[in-house]
Chains A and B, each alone.
Chain A
Amino acid sequence: MSAPISPKKALAEWKLYLFLVPSLILILLFSYYPAISAIYHSFFRWNGGESKEFIGFQNYAQIFNDKIFLQSFLTIGILIVANLLKLIPSIIMAVFIHRLSSTKFQYWYRVLLVLPMVVPGLVTLFIWKFFFNPNLGALNYFMEFSGLKTLLVHLDQFFGWGGIFLNDFPISWLGEPQLIVPSLIIWGFPWIGAVGVLMFIAGLQSIGTEIYEAADLDGIGPIGKFIYIEFPLIITQIRVIVVLMMIGTLQSFGMQFLLLGENGGPGGAGMVPGLWMFNRAFIAGEFGYACALGLCLFVVILGLTFINNKFLRVEK
């Protein structure tokens, strides 16, 4: 471990620190000022206008009685678990690409993965919205064509799901409260995230060939190589992706807003904390309360990130 630099030495060329000033100002202005403003406004009854009334911790107290906000964590919890499972196809894809013997093919696969990234996220959302359309959507065509719908209708009758799948009616993916969370999980199929795959490939490429040669000599098969070599050595990348995914999922509401509207769809089944925050601010005009919700969400994200970093450790 290197010795700490003395303050005298650190300040010897103090003028160099001036180069940091522009970035610092921008960060303070665009990152810290809004956050501080949100903390300040969370103690007010404020509708986004000029007048506001100081109400102390009333907004925070209200959160504990906010049934919709608390329920929205259940929905987001399900989505986080689903998103964790949805990382598996990306890992598998990364391993497949990594194991391709031809570097040329490896290159082209990477290119093919990166290409869809240029499509704006909004377009992807619109395409998926169209997929879910009960009358014209591709998903219902597939369900009819493949006979899966008939199976679902039988399952519905057998398990008594309450008629969410009926023979004469198209499946209303975003119109039935019970189907909303499953639809949000289906979203993005086959769940191969380009960023995730590229990060996993980067991790896999750092594994030396001698390790594979040793594994071959020990007679370890492809699955064994993944379990004993590849997976432990890309756990750092997995951890980073899991943290980013959790933060992204907890903060996100764009998908729910576009697919289901500001109320979270029928029965509010697709309501997530971010969408509720948006709803309170822009629909109900309760900006002060929305700020308090945002801070609550921040604490939850911070807590989850801390837990994640503490328990998902990399053994060096």
Chain B
Amino acid sequence: MEQTNNSRIWNLIGLGLVIIFFLVAAIPMVWKSFTQSLPTDSKEITIRFAHWQLEGGVRRAFDLAAAEYTKLHPNIRVEQLAIPDKIYVNWLITQLIGGTAPDIVQMGKGMSDERTTRYFLPTSALSTKPNPYNKGTTLENTPLRETFIDDMESVFSTTLLDHYGVPLSAFTLRMYYNLDLLQEITGSTELPATYGQFATLLKQTTEFSQKTKKRLYHIAASGDNAPSLIDKVFRSQTGKLGDGLAYDFLPSTRPPAAHLGMAFANGEWDFNEPSMRAAVTLLRHLGSHLQPGFMQVSRDDAMFNFIQGNALMMPGGSWDYSSISAQADFPVGVGMIPTPLPDEDSRWPFSEGIISDESTNASVVMAVTKESRHSEIAQDFLLFLCSLATNEMWAQESGWLPAVRSAKIGSESQSFMPNLNGFTGGFSPGFSGADTKRVVQTSIGLAVNPNGSVDKFTNHLNSEFRNALASDLERNAIAAKINSQRADTVSLALYVLSQNGDASAADKLAIQLEGMSATDRGYQLGLQAIKLLK
């Protein structure tokens, strides 16, 4: 009997603990959801925004901007969610589909036209009016669109014919170098300007490494930063090839995928093309000086090698500067990534010259989600972020380039200013989408590994590229078809409005029809290319 009582007491204690823990977990959650659903004018409102920029300076800059915004609007709190880029796409798609996305998210990864229209609010209406937060500045009366360095081209969808989001920064690709080490090796503090001189520097580095018995990598690289470098290498050699192909330009600085795909399907180019082989030869030369096994190395590991003084150089974007300069205990130099010049070396007859940063668009695009319960406040916060004063502060704090015209930049950011002199370059093979990118990236070892060769890479690409291209073009064609169907309804509405005397609708209709015609051309060409490829 006593045993039964004891057991009952223990059971009651167990049950009591379960109830207590359940209440401890449940009450705050119920309270939180209850307070968040209260009318907005009486309570504090929280705006959440998500991005994948984990760099310390950027997060700090966002925090400062959020704090400044709260000073202006004491009942609004802004929270940032920094999501690692490796999982950002999965996270974002899950949040969007599940209807739990934050008020503002960074666009770029995992976006498609359908997701853009379905989940994001367009900013075209805002783009024609001045930004109220620019009051008292030189941009006071300037329409929002014209306050950006690229006139919001980077956030304009040529297929959806609307602006989505606002940019906060601009990215350029540069070569970081250990200034002390470079001086020790060459006596100079500047990176060579030509590829020939660069090749000499690589030789000198090998000799220095042997002489000092110091294990020194010429260029620290990773699977994250190498693709940009590879892209530049291909573009430096395929400009003339691209110019010779028959394609129309869509509103873009590079040949569109369907046109390049059609040219490939027609046999106008393949990987035996001399300029392609020249690009792979250049890739092999440059790749042999990147740290071994770089495609398996993470960005952090590559940066670690550079910061520890184990590598002379490291390719990276302007986004890397704040992290590198904060951690390196040596002066960090920033130079252009050298590509061969036409008159420099007869080995590179396909080079046109310096590849410019002309195609550099503004980046770090933030957009308001349609699910946002406070979409007007979220849009207001975006306007605050891209105002002259805030963007300037944000850029200086993060060490990144600003996206807003006239924003002052620190002296350290000068090296990252886009170089607009030179050629736009050609194309790189991963141009059409996920599958061609996959084929190229998984084959890089065939070109750059010690046991690889130009032939191994080009033969492999010649056999694998066709199917990958067909698969990408098929996906692009389906997307184009959906876009056209969606645009039909919008065009009809614009047509009715223009017939009723709405001049702006007539203008928009003209742009819409031009865009639809380009999309349709691309769609038709894509279908033809798929037929030829299969």
Which A residues between 118 and 152 are near B, CB-CB below 8 angstroms?
Answer: 129, 132-136
Contact A135 B112 (CB under 8 A): no
Contact A135 B297 (CB under 8 A): yes
Q: Does A267 contact B (CB under 8 A)?
A: yes
Report Cα–Cα, A267/B442, bound state, in Å: 5
By a CB distance below 8 angstroms, the chain A residues around B475 are: 284-286
Choice from A49, A132, A136, A286 contacting B296 with Cβ under 8 Å: A132
By a CB distance below 8 angstroms, the chain A residues around B422 are: none
Q: For the complex formed, measure the closest distance between the CB of B90 and the CB atoms of chain A, giving whole angstroms.
A: 5
Choice from B112, B217, B305 contacting A47 with Cβ under 8 Å: B112
**Contacts A265-B442, A266-B442: A48 and B451 contacting too (C-beta < 8 A)?**
no
Contact A263 B451 (CB under 8 A): no
Report Cα–Cα, A132/B97, bound state, in Å: 37
Contact B442 A172 (CB under 8 A): no
Report Cα–Cα, A50/B482, bound state, in Å: 12
Q: Does B449 contact A (CB under 8 A)?
A: yes
By a CB distance below 8 angstroms, the chain B residues around A177 are: 445
Contact A175 B450 (CB under 8 A): no
By a CB distance below 8 angstroms, the chain A residues around B294 are: 175
Q: Does B412 contact A (CB under 8 A)?
A: no
Q: Does A268 contact B (CB under 8 A)?
A: yes
Q: For the complex formed, measure the closest distance between the CB of A223 and the CB atoms of chain B, giving whole angstroms.
A: 42
Contact A135 B296 (CB under 8 A): no
Report Cα–Cα, A7/B364, bound state, in Å: 65
Contact B445 A266 (CB under 8 A): yes
Contact B293 A175 (CB under 8 A): yes
Nearest-neighbor residue (CB-CB) of B111 within chain A: A285
- Fill in one digit per residue for A222-252: 1 if any B CB lies within 8 Å of its CB, else 0: 0000000000000000000000000000000
Q: For the complex formed, measure the closest distance between the CB of A51 and the CB atoms of chain B, giving whole angstroms.
A: 6
Contact B438 A174 (CB under 8 A): no
Contact B93 A263 (CB under 8 A): no
Which A residues between 257 and 316 are near B, CB-CB below 8 angstroms?
Answer: 259-261, 263-268, 279, 282-286
Contact B112 A285 (CB under 8 A): yes
Contact A51 B114 (CB under 8 A): yes
By a CB distance below 8 angstroms, the chain B residues around A261 are: 223
Nearest-neighbor residue (CB-CB) of A156 within chain B: B451
Nearest-neighbor residue (CB-CB) of B441 within chain A: A263
Interface size class of B (residues with CB under 8 A): 35 or more
By a CB distance below 8 angstroms, the chain B residues around A67 are: 467
By a CB distance below 8 angstroms, the chain B residues around A268 are: 438, 442
By a CB distance below 8 angstroms, the chain B residues around A282 are: 89-90, 93, 110
Q: For the complex formed, measure the closest distance between the CB of B348 and the CB atoms of chain A, giving whole angstroms.
A: 27
Contact B118 A49 (CB under 8 A): yes
- Fill in one digit per residue for B289-318: 1 if any A CB lies within 8 Å of its CB, else 0: 001111111100100110000100000000
Contact A175 B89 (CB under 8 A): no
- Fill in one digit per residue for A166-197: 1 if any B CB lies within 8 Å of its CB, else 0: 10011011111100000000000000000000
Q: Does A45 contact B (CB under 8 A)?
A: yes
Nearest-neighbor residue (CB-CB) of A67 within chain B: B467
Report Cα–Cα, A279/B437, bound state, in Å: 12
Contact A172 B482 (CB under 8 A): no
Contact A172 B90 (CB under 8 A): no
Nearest-neighbor residue (CB-CB) of A178 within chain B: B451
By a CB distance below 8 angstroms, the chain A residues around B441 are: 263
Nearest-neighbor residue (CB-CB) of B305 within chain A: A135
Q: Does B276 contact A (CB under 8 A)?
A: no
Report Cα–Cα, A48/B382, bound state, in Å: 27
By a CB distance below 8 angstroms, the chain A residues around B433 are: 284
Q: Does B444 contact A (CB under 8 A)?
A: yes
Contact A163 B434 (CB under 8 A): no
Q: Does B524 contact A (CB under 8 A)?
A: no
Q: Does B443 contact A (CB under 8 A)?
A: yes
Choice from A51, A176, A264 contacting B449 with Cβ under 8 Å: A176
Q: Does B135 contact A (CB under 8 A)?
A: no
Choice from B89, B297, B438 contacting A263 with Cβ under 8 Å: B438
Q: Give the interface SS of chain A, mostly helix, strand, loop or mixed.
A: loop
Contact B112 A49 (CB under 8 A): yes
Report Cα–Cα, A286/B475, bound state, in Å: 9
Q: For the complex formed, measure the closest distance between the CB of B343 and the CB atoms of chain A, giving whole angstroms.
A: 35
Q: Does A164 contact B (CB under 8 A)?
A: yes
Contact B297 A133 (CB under 8 A): yes
- Fill in one digit per residue for B463-479: 1 if any A CB lies within 8 Å of its CB, else 0: 00001000100010011
Q: Does A4 contact B (CB under 8 A)?
A: no
Choice from B217, B449, B471, B482 contacting A175 with Cβ under 8 Å: B449
Q: For the complex formed, measure the closest distance between the CB of B456 and the CB atoms of chain A, giving whole angstroms.
A: 10
Q: For the complex formed, measure the closest distance between the CB of B40 and the CB atoms of chain A, giving whole angstroms.
A: 28
Nearest-neighbor residue (CB-CB) of A174 within chain B: B296
Q: For the complex formed, measure the closest distance between the CB of A90 and the CB atoms of chain B, giving whole angstroms.
A: 29
Q: Does A162 contact B (CB under 8 A)?
A: yes
Report Cα–Cα, A197/B313, bound state, in Å: 48
Q: For the complex formed, measure the closest distance between the CB of B207 and the CB atoms of chain A, giving whole angstroms.
A: 15
- Fill in one digit per residue for B361-372: 1 if any A CB lies within 8 Å of its CB, else 0: 000000000000
Q: For the complex formed, measure the closest distance between the CB of B361 and the CB atoms of chain A, giving whole angstroms.
A: 22
Contact A175 B445 (CB under 8 A): yes
**Contacts A48-B115, A135-B217: A170 and B110 contacting too (C-beta < 8 A)?**
no
Q: Does B435 contact A (CB under 8 A)?
A: yes
Choice from A48, A50, A135 contacting B291 with Cβ under 8 Å: A135
Nearest-neighbor residue (CB-CB) of B448 within chain A: A175
By a CB distance below 8 angstroms, the chain B residues around A134 are: 291-293, 296-297
Contact B115 A166 (CB under 8 A): no
**Contacts A264-B442, A282-B110, A283-B434: A48 and B292 contacting too (C-beta < 8 A)?**
no
Report Cα–Cα, A45/B114, bound state, in Å: 13
Report Cα–Cα, A267/B463, bound state, in Å: 13
By a CB distance below 8 angstroms, the chain B residues around A279 are: 434, 438
Nearest-neighbor residue (CB-CB) of A62 within chain B: B471
- Fill in one digit per residue for B421-450: 1 if any A CB lies within 8 Å of its CB, else 0: 000000000000111001001111110011
Nearest-neighbor residue (CB-CB) of A280 within chain B: B434
By a CB distance below 8 angstroms, the chain A residues around B449 are: 163, 172, 175-176
Q: Which of A134, A279, A286 has the most CB of B within 10 A?
A: A134
Contact A49 B114 (CB under 8 A): yes
Q: For the complex formed, measure the closest distance between the CB of A304 and the CB atoms of chain B, giving whole angstroms.
A: 28
Report Cα–Cα, A106/B304, bound state, in Å: 43
Report Cα–Cα, A215/B310, bound state, in Å: 63
Contact A135 B292 (CB under 8 A): yes
- Fill in one digit per residue for B394-412: 1 if any A CB lies within 8 Å of its CB, else 0: 0000000000000000000
Contact B295 A175 (CB under 8 A): yes
By a CB distance below 8 angstroms, the chain B residues around A163 are: 449-451
Nearest-neighbor residue (CB-CB) of B311 within chain A: A135
Contact B118 A50 (CB under 8 A): yes
**Contacts A163-B450, A163-B451: A172 and B296 contacting too (C-beta < 8 A)?**
yes
By a CB distance below 8 angstroms, the chain B residues around A164 are: 451
Report Cα–Cα, A282/B443, bound state, in Å: 21
Q: Which of B294, B305, B449 has the most CB of A within 10 A?
A: B449
Knowing that A47-B479, A283-B89, A285-B475 touch, tell me 9 more A-B residue pairs with CB under 8 angstroms.
A49-B114, A136-B304, A162-B451, A170-B293, A176-B293, A263-B442, A266-B444, A279-B438, A286-B475
18 contacts between A and B (CB under 8 A): A135-B291, A136-B305, A163-B449, A163-B451, A166-B450, A169-B292, A170-B292, A172-B292, A172-B293, A174-B296, A176-B449, A265-B442, A266-B444, A268-B442, A282-B90, A283-B89, A284-B475, A286-B475
Binding site for A on B (CB under 8 A): 89-90, 93, 97, 110, 112, 114-115, 118, 217, 223, 291-298, 301, 304-305, 310, 433-435, 438, 441-446, 449-451, 467, 471, 475, 478-479, 482
Closest 10 CB pairs of A and B: A163-B451, A172-B293, A175-B293, A134-B293, A174-B296, A49-B114, A266-B445, A284-B434, A175-B296, A263-B438
